[in-house]
Structure 1
Amino acid sequence: MFIVDEMEIFSRVRRERRERTQMLILSFCILSLFMFSACTSSPVVETVTTDAGRESALPPGAKPLAVETNLPPPDPDIETAGDRIAEAITYLNTRRRDRREVALRALNRAETSINHALRSNSHDENVRNALHAALKDLDTAERAVQHNAPEAVKQLASINKNLDKISP
Structure 2
Amino acid sequence: MFSGSLSHSWLLLIPLALCAEATWHDLRTREIPDSVSIRLLATALVAAVLGWHHLTWQVVVGGAAAGFLVTLPFAWTGGLGGGDLKLVAGLGAWLGPFGIFGLLFWTALAGMVGAIIATLRSQENFPYVPAIMVGLTIQIVFPDALPHLVVALRSLGG
Asked if TM exceeds 0.5, the reply is no
- For the pair shown, which has the larger CA radius of gyration, 1 or 2? 1
Structure 1 or 2: more helix by fraction? 2
